[in-house]
Amino acid sequence: MAEPNSSNDAASVQDLDAAYHAFHEYKWDLDKDFLGGLVFALGGYHALAQTAPQADIVMHSRMFYYGRISGITISYAGYRDWLKGCYQAGQQPRIWEWDLLEALCSHRDKLTSAHSSSVAQRREDAAAEKARWMRELLSVWTPQVQPGSTAGGEVSDGKDVSTPAWMAAAPKSELYVDRRMAANGDEGSSPAYPERFAQIIKAIQTGEPVEGIIEIPDIVARNPTTTPIGKMARPLKPWEKAQSGVGSTPDEGEHGLEVHLDQTFPDQEESAAGST
């Protein structure tokens, strides 16, 4: 019964290898639809940069686009393992992520007439960033056997060599709070507020004024020199130019009708009492 299973496993491995190979050999630099969507996914031409995060975006964009046009889902971890296996076998597969970023950045520099010194500096920084990205690609999920290590991957000093480098500085303690210890605290179930925030809450609950907050009155002080009637006569209308005395007095309206206007504003306290 073991032979059929082994043959099926071998066939599945061959199918995966063929799928990764077809995915890798796709002409990504000639697909205008893909390149247009890639620029949009990277944030536009102004945001293009040859960095490791953008290289990861390119890889994920390739997998998404290939799955849409072919119906074949490419595994991110499986494709990186396939690339790593190619390098370990002595092959030099094309790294599309950095080739596409270089082509897009060069096209952007031509459109913006970038200075040659800035282009040279960008390419130098990109080469260093690509080297770091490649080292991470080839070392990911690859436990390196060191002297004194055991079959489980633990060395004599207690460190696990299978742990990635970026996780070496992670805290080793459990990131949680024991409910039993929290329940026995001095404050009981009350949340632990900062001192300043606790003072504000206490002042609001007791009705006391909050320190640092200026009380603004409901009534705005009115300028006593301001009156409802201005000192200037209203401008005459075109048909009133021939008439004499029109607009000279504020108490007289059109056609000689008397207009009653208060010469002063009502008292503020009386207005507030009347509104309530």
Quick one: three-class SS letters along 60-129?
HHHHHHHHHHHCCCCCHHHHHHHHHHHHHCCCCCCCHHHHHHHHHHHHHHHHHCCCHHHHHHHHHHHHHH
What pLDDT score does 65 carry?
A: 92
Query: Average pLDDT for residues 10-32, to the nearest whole number?
Result: 85
Structure confidence at residue 252 as a pLDDT band (50, 70, 90): low
Q: Which of 49-58, 101-110, 226-235 has the least mean pLDDT?
A: 226-235
Lookup: tokens for 29: 């630099």
Q: Which of 94-103, 200-209, 241-250 has the least mean pLDDT?
A: 241-250
248 within domain boundaries: no
What pLDDT score does 200 carry?
A: 80
Residue listed under structure tokens 């080839």: 138
Q: Could you give the percent of the chain with pLDDT greater than 70?
A: 62
148 within domain boundaries: no
Report the domain count for the chain: 1
Range of the domain at 110: 12-138
184 within domain boundaries: no
Structure confidence at residue 238 as a pLDDT band (50, 70, 90): confident
86 within domain boundaries: yes
Residue scoring higher pLDDT (38 or 111): 38
Rounded distance, CA 119 to CA 105, Å? 9
Residue 40 has pLDDT above 60, yes or no: yes
Residue scoring higher pLDDT (20 or 187): 20
171 within domain boundaries: no
42 within domain boundaries: yes
Show Cβ contacts of residue 39 under 8 Å, excluding neighbours closer than 6 positions.
45, 48, 104
Q: What is the pTM of this model?
A: 0.46
What pLDDT score does 142 carry?
A: 44
174 within domain boundaries: no
Task: Round the average pLDDT of the chain to a whole number and report it.
Answer: 73
Residue 242 has pLDDT above 80, yes or no: no
Give me the half-sphere count of Cα atoms (radius 13 Å) on the Cβ side of residue 94.
Answer: 12
Residue scoring higher pLDDT (46 or 158): 46
Structure confidence at residue 1 as a pLDDT band (50, 70, 90): very low
74 within domain boundaries: yes
